[in-house]
């Protein structure tokens, strides 16, 4: 039986994309699997009694070494801000390519704590900073220094000691360009080195908290229990900076979604499911309920989604326990169809992620297809004609060209780059100034403009000749031809409408990172947690691929 890939016009709706969850395809899970046999070492740990100073951690295999260089600083509570406008952080980090020399560390010390206003070199791969979750951090120091372990419930509700507020890579601020790393054997997919940085930062947070407690009370202090450590991750505060990324990288977006959709298709096509595989699916599904029950947020929007997910998950588990026979043919297909009929998007997409758990043989080859060589499709095939362009628009953007952009509400917002921080922002076109400097992210509106522009153009005219007089729409023409080969390249929604929920765009990207506990703080930024439940670096060699469902909670 051949199952069709799900229709991009349904999958690529923002409400659907905003319901995605972590899965076996997620980058932080892939990263751990790919680096599990690398040797971990803490090469330098030079902190004062308050935990300020520098440290270096490395992952090494054969002749290849990646080193995380950490700088912890003393900052006042007033200076501590997760917003991108902050200029000082509790700690700052750079992932160095190789073993840093003393000169490298001195150079990095002058630049890494400055973040965006510092300069890195081609020897650095990623850059980040993080702030303490001060209440939890101080509480743990207090407990450990008195020789006690902290209350698990109290700290796991938060889930981390530090929150990163940005992780930069790919040539930003002088970092190594992507071309320098993309062909390395150990880099099997996107964002691996960003994941490595975050993972090693997590270990630094444990070492720092232990160090401060020990300095406070050398006689009685104990180290944070390893099981508690495993169940702490790294938090992250993410704002709108991430949202345009998925619009600006259509081929990469396609490859992520296509991998997910292909895995679903292949799993639905399995005629006979082995008992062992259905058991793995059911066990992880039941375990995952615990993760959901400890998913805290103050956002009413997310609370509603979590409640619905929780109820739907119980419904799904009951259905599996009461009625479902995995011995029949194509059971995952039947189960998926049942999910579509009986569950809401949040749980349907959760189930899709869970379907993948037993199937390394399906998932592993797809993981290798999640990167993109975007330059290959950058050039517009100008020798094609308008008939071809029109046909692609009518097929791939059929819903978008129905949107009425003469209505104010469909044109409500505009995306711009803030002069202050060079970061993307969203504003109301009718209330705020600056819409004349709008970024080219209103794809739906502009595709419609292109469609209208070619309505009276004869079919035989080449795109090259059309562009002579219509270069204002050149970036759209490029996108249309990309969508011809990449069905999931475009968000099938209006990214400037009054109903836009930008956090759906963030959530989509973060789910592919492998983030959990999405905690929207507004419709424009959210907090998440990464690596909660993951093994510690010195336990990596015995990695359990289902670690994400092992948290104590």
Partner 1 sequence: MISLSEIDTTVKRATKAVGFSWGIAEEVGKCIRILEMFGLPGLKNLNQYFRVFNSKKFQNISLISKSNISNLSYCPIISGLNFLDQSHVLQDLVEIEFENVAFPIIFVAFLSRSSEIIGKRIFLKIDGKEFLLNFNQSIYSNYFSEKIIEQASKIKITFIENKNSFNDKEWQELYKLSEQTFVNETDELKQKAAGAGLTDND
Out of 70, 105, 176, 309, the residue judged to bind partner 1 by CB under 8 A: 176
**DSSP character at residue 433:** S
Contact status: 171 vs partner 1 (CB under 8 A):
yes
Look up tokens 């189930």; give the residue: 351
Question: CB 125 → partner 1: shortest distance, Å?
Answer: 12
DSSP string, 164-229: EEEEE-TTGGGPPPGGGTTT-TT--STTHHHHHHHHHHHHHHHHHHHHHHHHH-TTT--PPPHHHH
Stretch that binds partner 1, among 173-181, 390-398, 494-502, 541-549 (CB under 8 A): 173-181
Stretch that binds partner 1, among 67-75, 425-433, 460-468, 485-493 (CB under 8 A): 460-468
Question: CB 57 → partner 1: shortest distance, Å?
Answer: 25
Out of 110, 271, 272, 464, the residue judged to bind partner 1 by CB under 8 A: 464
Contact status: 361 vs partner 1 (CB under 8 A):
no
534-553 mask for partner 1 (x: CB under 8 A)? --------------------
Contact status: 179 vs partner 1 (CB under 8 A):
yes
Cα 19 to Cα 317: distance, rounded to the nearest angstrom:
19
Q: Is-contact 33 25, C-beta < 8 A?
A: no
Contact status: 301 vs partner 1 (CB under 8 A):
no
Site residues for partner 1, 467-496, by CB under 8 A, read 467-469, 471-478
CB nearer partner 1, residue 172 or residue 391:
172
CB nearer partner 1, residue 179 or residue 301:
179
Q: Which long-range contacts (CB under 8 A, 24 or more apart) does 361-368 make?
A: 362/263, 362/266, 362/267, 363/24, 363/25, 363/263, 366/25, 366/259, 366/262, 366/263, 367/25, 367/30, 367/188, 367/189, 367/259, 368/188, 368/189
Contact status: 175 vs partner 1 (CB under 8 A):
yes
Q: Is-contact 532 233, C-beta < 8 A?
A: yes
25-64 mask for partner 1 (x: CB under 8 A)? ----------------------------------------
Helix (H, G, I), strand (E, B) or coil at 404: coil
Out of 463, 480, 500, 516, the residue judged to bind partner 1 by CB under 8 A: 463
Number of residues that bind partner 1 (CB under 8 A): 34
CB nearer partner 1, residue 78 or residue 103:
103
Contact status: 172 vs partner 1 (CB under 8 A):
yes
Cα 164 to Cα 529: distance, rounded to the nearest angstrom:
10
CB nearer partner 1, residue 127 or residue 273:
127
Question: CB 461 → partner 1: shortest distance, Å?
Answer: 12
Cα 207 to Cα 196: distance, rounded to the nearest angstrom:
17
Beta bridge partners of 55: 45, 70
Q: Is-contact 153 219, C-beta < 8 A?
A: no
Contact status: 121 vs partner 1 (CB under 8 A):
yes
Contact status: 382 vs partner 1 (CB under 8 A):
yes
Question: CB 379 → partner 1: shortest distance, Å?
Answer: 6
Output the CA–CA distances (angstroms, integers) from residue 538 to 189, 271, 322, in the order listed.
23, 40, 42
The separation between CA 147 and the C-alpha centre of its own chain, rounded to angstroms, equals 37
Contact status: 103 vs partner 1 (CB under 8 A):
no
**Cα dihedral 453, 458, 463, 467 in deg (nearest 10):** -50
Contact status: 418 vs partner 1 (CB under 8 A):
no
Q: Is-contact 188 145, C-beta < 8 A?
A: no
Contacts with partner 1 by CB under 8 A lie at: 121-122, 170-179, 375, 378-380, 382-383, 417, 440, 463-465, 467-469, 471-478
């Amino acid at each position: 039986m051949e199952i069709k890939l799900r229709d991009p016009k349904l999958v690529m709706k923002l409400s659907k994309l905003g319901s995605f969850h972590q899965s076996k395809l997620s980058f932080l899970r892939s990263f751990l699997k790919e680096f599990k046999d690398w040797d971990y070492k803490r090469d330098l740990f030079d902190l004062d009694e308050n935990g300020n100073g520098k440290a270096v951690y490395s992952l090494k295999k054969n002749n290849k070494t990646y080193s995380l260089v950490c700088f912890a600083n003393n900052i006042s509570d007033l200076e501590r801000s997760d917003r991108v406008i902050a200029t000082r952080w509790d700690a700052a980090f750079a992932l160095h390519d190789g073993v840093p020399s003393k000169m490298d560390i001195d150079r990095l010390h002058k630049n890494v704590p400055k973040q965006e206003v510092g300069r890195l070199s081609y020897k650095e791969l990623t850059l980040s900073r993080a702030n303490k979750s001060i209440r939890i951090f101080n509480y743990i120091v207090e407990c450990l220094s008195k020789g006690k372990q902290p209350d698990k419930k109290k700290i796991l509700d938060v889930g981390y000691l530090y929150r990163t507020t940005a992780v930069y890579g790919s040539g930003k601020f002088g970092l190594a360009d992507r071309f320098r790393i993309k062909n390395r054997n150990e880099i099997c997919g996107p964002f691996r080195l960003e994941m490595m940085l975050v993972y090693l930062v997590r270990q630094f947070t444990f070492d720092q908290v232990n160090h401060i407690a020990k300095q406070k009370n050398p006689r009685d202090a104990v180290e944070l229990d390893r099981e508690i450590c495993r169940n702490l991750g790294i938090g992250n505060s993410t704002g709108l900076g991430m949202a345009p990324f998925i619009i600006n990288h259509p081929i990469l977006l396609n490859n992520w979604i296509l991998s997910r959709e292909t895995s679903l298709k292949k799993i639905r096509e399995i005629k006979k499911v082995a008992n062992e595989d259905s058991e793995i699916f059911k066990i992880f599904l039941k375990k995952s309920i615990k993760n959901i029950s400890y998913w805290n947020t103050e956002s009413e929007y997310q609370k509603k989604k979590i409640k619905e997910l929780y109820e739907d998950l119980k419904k799904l588990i009951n259905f599996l326990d009461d009625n479902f026979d995995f011995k029949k043919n194509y059971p995952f297909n039947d189960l998926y169809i049942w999910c579509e009929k009986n569950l809401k998007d949040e749980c349907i997409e959760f189930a899709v992620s869970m379907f993948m758990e037993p199937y390394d043989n399906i998932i592993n080859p797809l993981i290798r297809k999640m990167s993109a060589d975007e330059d290959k499709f950058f050039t517009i095939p100008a020798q094609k004609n308008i008939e071809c362009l029109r046909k692609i628009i009518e097929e791939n953007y059929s819903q978008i060209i129905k949107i009425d952009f003469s209505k104010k509400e469909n044109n409500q917002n505009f995306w711009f780059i803030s002069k202050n921080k060079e970061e993307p922002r969203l504003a109301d076109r009718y209330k705020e100034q600056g819409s004349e400097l709008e970024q080219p992210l209103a794809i739906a509106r502009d595709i419609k403009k292109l469609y209208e522009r070619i309505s009276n153009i004869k079919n035989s005219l080449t795109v090259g000749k059309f562009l002579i007089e219509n270069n204002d729409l050149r970036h759209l023409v490029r996108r249309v031809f990309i969508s011809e080969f990449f069905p999931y390249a475009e968000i099938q929604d209006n990214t400037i409408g009054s109903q836009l929920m930008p956090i759906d765009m963030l959530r989509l990207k973060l789910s592919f990172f492998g983030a959990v506990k999405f905690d929207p703080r507004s419709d424009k930024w959210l907090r998440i947690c990464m690596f909660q439940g993951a093994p510690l670096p010195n336990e990596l060699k015995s990695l359990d691929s289902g670690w994400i469902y092992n948290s104590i909670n």
